[in-house]
Amino acid sequence: MKEQLGRLDGDEALRQQVLPFCRLRPGEVWQDSLAGHRIGCLDARNPAHIALLMDGQLAHVAIQDPPYNVLLDKRRSHALGKTALDAFLADCRQWIATSLAALAPDAHFYAWLGADQTDGFQPLPDFMLLMRGFEEVRARSFVTMRNQRGYGTQHNWMAVRQELLYYVKGNPPFDVAAEYTDIPKILRGYYKEIGGEKLDNAARSKSGNIRAGNVWVDIQQVFYRMHENVPGCYAQKPLKAIERIVRASTATNGLVADFFAHSGTTLIACEQLGRRCFTSDFDPVFAEIAIRRLERLRATGEPGWQAESPFPEIA
Ligand SMILES: C[S@@+](CC[C@H](N)C(=O)[O-])C[C@H]1O[C@@H](n2cnc3c(N)ncnc32)[C@H](O)[C@@H]1O
């Protein structure tokens, strides 16, 4: 099994082939008439673009997955690459501001990020310090997700982490039920006497499974054999991770914002969980892929293309 479409960011000729099939131009928004999602071809740093996307509404959670300022597979492209740290942080300052302005008074803010171990762990610590300047939010948790496939070096610890910073604005509700994994508890202990009976922690707790906590080890990294895989994308997040965030942070019909749509994972999670998603990407190709992924889910029940091409128009 081989993916029928190569990485769209690194191959300009391929991008030029698919561009004519993309229905949004920069500055445009597609309105979904079925579930009320909105998908834009917009720049996350531009307040006017984000105001257009939000259409006067405020989100209950923002889940942002920006470029990390690291080279992925040592490749540089128009969308992905490494700039001077100051320039990267100046961009971050702009999209953080547009994100916070799009949030309700009680809301959650999540940002995925990386730490380049070959370059002083940038930009993670710099981003954390930058966030301190936004006084309307406070830090809540620092989650690490384990990527199941890492770089198998023999000379260093295998790099398997993805960082997720969690902040809140006001006092939003948090649904702890979303935190339970499929992993059964294997540790016993913490005996307590209740009604004359000695009960261990497993007998007393709400679930026989462990909570994800802030180290997520139960999520498979997306690869071409998985049904949710989207060929052409290079930085797709697993649906399971985004679903966990959406369920913990919003009620049914809640509004979710994601200004770095890429393969449209947040949109698909929202569609499946009965939430509305306002999402955008500044690249028309990824805005189109997000729309197509939603249409495909509705038409076939499939959350992605596995190895098939999302652009069957081109050979
Ligand atoms: C890391 S990917 C997001 C992955 C996404 N969470 C998923 O699961 O598919 C980052 C995306 O942000 C887009 N992007 C980068 N800078 C942007 C900006 N200033 N405004 C909007 N989109 C941007 C890129 O085109 C890319 O598709």
Q: How many domains does the chain have?
A: 1
More confident residue, 81 or 104: 104
Residue 3 lies in a domain: no
pLDDT tens digits along 207-245:
889 999 999 999 999 999 999 999 999 899 999 999 999
Is pLDDT at 249 greater than 80 in this prediction?
yes
Give me the long-range contacts of 131-136 (CB less than 8 A, separation at least 24). 131/96, 131/165, 131/167, 133/93, 134/96, 134/97, 134/100, 136/100, 136/169
Residue 1 lies in a domain: no
- Residue 208: which residues within 8 A CB-CB, separation 6 or more? 184, 185, 202
Residue 194 lies in a domain: no
Nearest-atom index, ligand 1, CA of 63: 6
As a whole number, mean pLDDT of residues 72-87 equals 69
Question: Dihedral of CA 265/271/275/281: which sign?
Answer: positive
Q: From the CB of 281, is ligand 1 less than 6 Å away?
A: yes
Q: From the CB of 9, is ligand 1 less than 6 Å away?
A: no
Residue 200 lies in a domain: no
175 CA from centroid of ligand 1 (Å)? 27
Q: What is the CATH number of the domain that holds 29?
A: 3.40.50.150
Whether residue 288 contacts residue 22, with contact meaning beta carbons closer than 8 Å, is answered with: yes
pLDDT level of residue 82 (50, 70, 90 thresholds): confident
66-70, 78-82, 97-101, 197-201: which range is least confident on average? Answer: 78-82
Residue 122 lies in a domain: yes
The answer to pTM > 0.85 is yes
- The overall average pLDDT reported for the chain is 93
Query: Which class for 195: exposed (0-12), middle (13-18), buried (19 or more C-beta within 10 A)?
Result: exposed
259 CA from centroid of ligand 1 (Å)? 7
Q: From the CB of 250, is ligand 1 less than 6 Å away?
A: no
Nearest-atom index, ligand 1, CA of 258: 6
Nearest-atom index, ligand 1, CA of 261: 5
Residue 190 lies in a domain: no
Is pLDDT at 77 greater than 60 in this prediction?
no
- Say what the pLDDT of residue 11 is: 87
Residue 187 lies in a domain: no
Q: From the CB of 234, is ligand 1 less than 6 Å away?
A: no
Residue 95 lies in a domain: yes
Q: From the CB of 68, is ligand 1 less than 6 Å away?
A: no
DSSP string computed for 208-275: SEEE-TTEE-S-PPP-TTSTT--TT-SSPPPHHHHHHHHHHH--TT-EEEES--TTTHHHHHHHHHT-
- Say what the pLDDT of residue 247 is: 98
pLDDT > 90 in the chain, percent: 79
pLDDT tens digits along 102-149:
999 999 999 999 999 999 999 999 999 999 999 999 999 999 999 877
Range of the domain at 81: 12-174+216-300
Q: From the CB of 179, is ligand 1 less than 6 Å away?
A: no
